[in-house]
Amino acid sequence: MVTTIRVRKRRRRSENAAAMTSFDALSRCFEGIDAYGLSREEKRKQRAEGGFFDGLQYGEIDFGGFYKVLELAQPKSGEIFVDIGAGSGKAVLLAAHCFSFQRSYGVEIMA
């Protein structure tokens, strides 16, 4: 069994501040939007039409936590980010705004 341990350089304080400013700006984009409520309404509508697939669940990312996940993934410039089940699009916007993906796509499967 081979174990690889990767040591990554800690970000400078200025990078942390820039990331926090980005999170604040992205959060403001979603002020007043009840994505959980929109999801509940869409589920109700689809069930009434007989088209809802049980087992689908809406959830949202935390900008700071998801940023850390993408940072650990170390995306390369020019790669493409795809979020299947994108919901309100928070992960897609974060990926596009904070990383150098060539493209960021979100596909919502309940719409």
- Express each pLDDT in 38-87 by its tens digit: 988 988 888 898 877 777 788 899 999 999 999 999 999 999 999 999 99
- Provide the whole-model pTM: 0.74
For the segment 33-44, what is each residue's pLDDT rounded down to a tens digit? 999 999 889 888
State the pLDDT at residue 15. Answer: 59
Distances from the Cα of 99 to the Cαs of 37, 87, 93, 96, in angstroms? 29, 20, 10, 6
Q: How far apart are CA 27 and CA 71, in angstroms?
A: 19
CB 90 within 8 A of CB 61: yes
User: For residue range 2-14, what is the model confidence (pLDDT) as tens digits?
Assistant: 433 333 444 444 5
Q: Does 105 score more than 60 pLDDT?
A: yes
Q: Residues 46, 52: contact at Cβ < 8 Å?
A: yes
* C-alpha dist (Å) from residue 39 to 28, 54, 89, 90, 110: 20, 13, 13, 14, 8
SS3 category, 9:
coil
Residue 106 has pLDDT above 90, yes or no: yes
